Amino acid sequence: MISERPSPDSPGGRAGSTCRLSVIVPAINEARCLPATLARVASDSAAEVIVVDGGSADDTVALARETGARCLIAPPGRAVQMNAGAAKASGDILLFLHADTLLPPDYPLHVEAVLRESDVVAGAFRLAFDDPRRSLRLIAAGANLRSRLVRLPYGDQALFLRRETFADLGGFRELPIMEDYDFVRRLRRRGRIALASGSVTTSSRRWLDHGTVRTTLVHQCMILGWHLGLSAERLAGWHGRLK
């Protein structure tokens, strides 16, 4: 069941709001990162901001409300939370943002420029990390090369698309893992996925906590398992053990 924590002082939370761009942020226990993320989003006052909490035990919801974001409560699971946010969004462009990722300051201009092209069905940003070490720069370079050459950006690159495209696809399949990979592969059948010239800056904490080499190998194992036909449930179990 989805419920809402209203933020009546927010432009995005006012009844009758017709924001063109809706930024949807799924979150669970992201009190440390969320304020900076939402402050960057709020640099464009016309954007509707929706935080979908999946059952945080920290101050995630309170902090989101303090920024004026519209807050929803949904069952845990990134795909479930993003679909819940999209269902309540009023914008005709949806941008899905991880709670530990900063958009570039002029992000609405990048979104509009990408989606202005008639053959583009969706877009994403270039990837950068908040830590300058060489291993992370190489990972970001690889992600950007993959996104440009094979049109396969991942969720940490802030995917965005028109609302009608999202609806036509039926949203994210509510999988326990690989929901962004599955979604982007389905999007590619509809048209071109373009890479914006601006970069998002994502937190390096998970990569550093588990090790960059190990994390990369885990990700590649998940992709290999997916293409071998293993279920998302089984892959999620593997992911939990391998981390």
What is the per-residue pLDDT for 12? 39
- Say yes or no to pLDDT of 7 above 80: no
72 plus 17 within the same structural domain: yes
Which residues are registered as beta bridge partners of 25? Answer: 51
Note whether 126 and 242 are same-domain residues.
Answer: yes
* Domain edge (last residue) among 53, 76, 99: 99
Question: Mean pLDDT across the stretch 9-37?
Answer: 74
Q: In the prediction, which pLDDT does 206 show?
A: 86
Residues 127 and 88 grouped into a single domain: no
Same domain, 91 and 108: no
The pLDDT assigned to 15 comes to 37
Q: State what percent of residues in the chain have pLDDT above 90.
A: 77
When mean pLDDT is compared across 40-49, 138-147, 190-199, the lowest value belongs to 40-49
Report pLDDT for 242: 59
Domain final position from 99, 123, 140: 99
> Does residue 31 surpass a pLDDT of 80?
yes
Q: Same structural domain for residues 128 and 41?
A: no
The Cα 232–Cα 60 span in angstroms is 28
Q: How many domains does the chain have?
A: 2
Work out the end-to-end distance of the chain between its first and last CA atoms, rounded to an integer number of angstroms.
Answer: 30
Average pLDDT value over all residues in the chain: 90
Do 237 and 218 reside in the same domain of the chain? yes
% of the chain exceeding 70 in pLDDT: 90
pLDDT band per the 50, 70, 90 thresholds, residue 240? confident
Last residue of a domain, one of 84, 99, 114: 99
Cα 137 to Cα 1, 128, 207, 211, 219, distances in angstroms = 41, 7, 12, 14, 17
Residue 28 shares a structural domain with residue 144? no
What are the pLDDT digits (tens) for 163-217?
A: 999 999 999 999 999 999 999 999 999 999 999 999 999 999 988 888 899 888 8
| 190 in the same domain as 115 | yes
Residue 70, domain CATH:
3.90.550.10
pLDDT value at residue 97: 98
Least confident of 10-14, 172-176, 197-201, 237-241: 10-14
pLDDT of residue 10: 42
- For 83, the domain range is 1-99
Asked if 228 and 180 touch (Cβ cutoff 8 Å), the reply is no
Mean pLDDT of 33-46: 88
List pLDDT tens digits, range 108-128: 999 999 999 989 999 999 999
